[in-house]
Structure formats: structure tokens, C-alpha cells
Amino acid sequence: MIQSPKNIILDFERMKYPNTGLYHFCKGLGEALVKESDPNLETLSFYLPKQLNGIFGSSVQYIDQSSLHKLVMPPLKQFSCWHATNQTSVYFPKNQRIPIVLTVHDLNFLYDSNKSAKRKKVYQQNLQTKIDRANAVVTISSFTAKELAQFVDMGDKKITVIYNGCGIDDAVQATPPKMIPSLPFLFTIGTIAPKKNFHELLHLLIGTNYQLIIAGITQDEKYKQFIISEANRLGVTAQLMFTGAIAESEKYWYYQHCTAFLFPSLAEGFGLPVIEAMHFGKTVLLSSVGPLPEIGGSVAHYFTEYTAQAMQTTLNNALEQDELKNRRDTIQLHAKQFSWQKAANAYLQLYRSII
């Protein structure tokens, strides 16, 4: 007897925030799932803001997200699996029998100095509730998997690690941004928040002719002002540029033309910009904590001490080493290990295993 395809629904509500890592996670995974899914085995539906209906083409279904669903979820009887694509989502079918795949990106709340111990406990309890309800749990790095097993009771549930893909679209032409540096420049991108550790990069400007380009939306205005005050204190204000949110084509231009890409973040689940910069064969310097050594591997370089002398030595050695060894091809090859096609196929196998 021929069985009808199973209907998989994915929670892509966070796509309402376009300049974030979760937006690019959803977009990359969604596009790859449409290409890799087998219509004889599954159909796809996406739960997302109404204005994004159609973003993945006409071969899939769309369910409009509503804030009312925080109280009462929409009917889900027609679905065979719900993919909760991030651990913080408030749209979660707690009391229904539908199988759930839960993707946990990070446990960054543990390191948030702005959250009280009581508030962190609430986050941890909410996560535990979702873990208990989930039929399958995914993390986007082995580092996050280890953290999850340490801070949450997994019971007999296995954690599956599925790496993110590189979201660079080679069909998109790089275009000069509105803010073009007048000097050789170092580039970083991310939400302006303390965990990104951007202020430490100012040490690389002392006594050099580099400019530092920080791209991304401001999540914490106080932290942005702290970066500016530190630049004033160190005498490098003229070398610092904030771009705010940028278009993909502008981001590609910065990747292509920067002297090096820097990502000193102290709390990540994966670090998508690292792989994006490597796609362009760039010298990459990262913090040595969290999942970044796992993602950057031996082709990246790492800051282990945040002083001007140590950081500048690390940068200079990295640039010299990559040039002498002509490592551009090696760096790009490393980035190709991370593809949304691989991620989509891994998720499809997981969906099929629980329905």
C-alpha cells in the first residue's frame, strides 16, 4: 500500500528579524530543504510572518504566524512533525501529540551578565520543558551538545549535531557599500552586544594604519557607547567605523576587500560569519573559546590574550603565515565542508526517523 507523503512544518517565525543569525539559518535551511526533500516522502510547510509568504516558492505551504498563537497554537492535526528551529521560540506545541524536532543553537543565557541567577534559572527550566517534550534534539556544534548535556537533563535522548551551512550566494554580485574605508581595513560583523567582545579589537588599531569596520545592528546601545569611549581613550576613534545593518552584496564587498576577518565573540552556538569569510579565502582570527575552534579548525588563527602587543603579533603572524603558505585554497576548502545541502539532508533523515 502506497503511503501519502508526511507533512513537515518548520517554525521560521524568527525570520521577522532580517539582520540576524537566526534569519540566515532559517533562509539557508529552508531553501536547501525545498531542493533536497522527496515529494514522495514529505511535503513542507513553513510557519512564518505573513509578509514572507512565498519566500521559498510555490511548491510549499505557508502558515501565518500570529502573536495569539503564544496562547493557543493553530490546529496541527494535518502535520506529521513540527521542527522548532530555535530553543527560545514561544511558539511550541506543548500539549499535542505531534512529534517535535528541537534545534538548540546555544546556551548563551548562562553567560549573560545582564540576567540574574533567578532569570537564568527560568531560561533553563523553559529549555528543560522543551527537551522533555521533544522527540529529537539537534545542536549546531559539538560544543553546544556538551553544554546541553551538562546543564539539562537529557534523559535517554540522543543529541544529533548538524552543522550550519555557508550561506554565501555566488550569484550575488558584491557592491561597494555606502561606507568605504580609506585605509586597509579589518572587518567584523554581528549584533552590537557585549558577548561579541568587539571592543578588544581596538587594540589592533593602536599605532597602525588599519581601520576597523563593525557591521551589524545595535542590540545594546550602552555597549556601543562603551566601544566608542574605549576608542577615544586609546586614540583610535578616527579608525573606527560602524555601518549598521548592511545588504548581502555590501557584506560580500567587505569580505572580499578586508585585510582580515575578526570574530572575538565569547558566546556563540556556531559562528556563521566565520565560514562566510573563509568562503572568500580570508585570513580569519577568532576567540579561542566556545565552538569557534571547532568551526575554524586549523585554518583559523586564535586570540589567546587581549593586549595590543599580543593581538598585533597574532594578526601579523597570521597574515604572514597565510601568505607564505598560500593558504587561500585551503581556507576555502575548509568552508566547503559546511553546506546547507548537507544540513538539509541530515534534518530530512531525522524527520523521517520519528514519523
**pLDDT, tens digit (0-9, with 9 covering 90-100), for 254-287:** 999 999 999 999 999 999 999 999 999 999 999 9
pLDDT in tens, 189-243: 999 999 999 999 999 999 999 999 999 999 999 999 999 999 999 999 999 999 9
Task: Give the pLDDT band of residue 136 (cuts 50, 70, 90).
Answer: very high
Q: What is the pLDDT of residue 238?
A: 97
Q: What is the pLDDT of residue 146?
A: 97
- Model pTM score: 0.94
pLDDT in tens, 151-194: 999 999 999 999 999 989 999 999 999 999 999 999 999 999 99
User: Would you state the torsion angle of the CA atoms of residues 181, 184, 188, 193, taken in this order, to the nearest 10 degrees?
Assistant: -70
Taking each helix axis as running N to C, give the angle between helix 340-354 and helix 21-36, from 0 to 180 degrees, rounded to the nearest 10: 70
CB of 257 within 8 A of CB of 282? no
- The partner residues of 161 in beta bridges, in order of sequence, read 139
Taking each helix axis as running N to C, give the angle between helix 272-279 and helix 328-335, from 0 to 180 degrees, rounded to the nearest 10: 130
C-alpha cell at 189: 560583523
Domain 6-165+339-354 matches domain 185-335 at the CATH topology level = yes
pLDDT in tens, 95-134: 778 999 999 999 999 888 888 999 999 999 999 999 999 9
pLDDT in tens, 4-32: 899 999 999 999 999 888 999 999 999 99
Q: What is the pLDDT of residue 34?
A: 98
pLDDT at 1 > cutoff 70: no
pLDDT cut 90: percent of the chain above it: 93
- Side-by-side strand order, sheet with 240-244: 240-244, 211-215, 185-189, 260-263, 284-287, 301-303
Q: What is the pLDDT of residue 249?
A: 96
Specify the CATH number of the domain 185-335: 3.40.50.2000
- Which of these, 200, 281, 262, lies nearest to 234 by C-alpha position? 200
CB of 270 within 8 A of CB of 340? no
pLDDT in tens, 309-353: 999 999 999 999 998 889 999 999 999 999 999 999 999 999 999
pLDDT at 94 > cutoff 90: no
Q: What is the pLDDT of residue 2?
A: 60
Domain residue spans in the chain?
Answer: 6-165+339-354, 185-335
Specify the CATH number of the domain 6-165+339-354: 3.40.50.2000
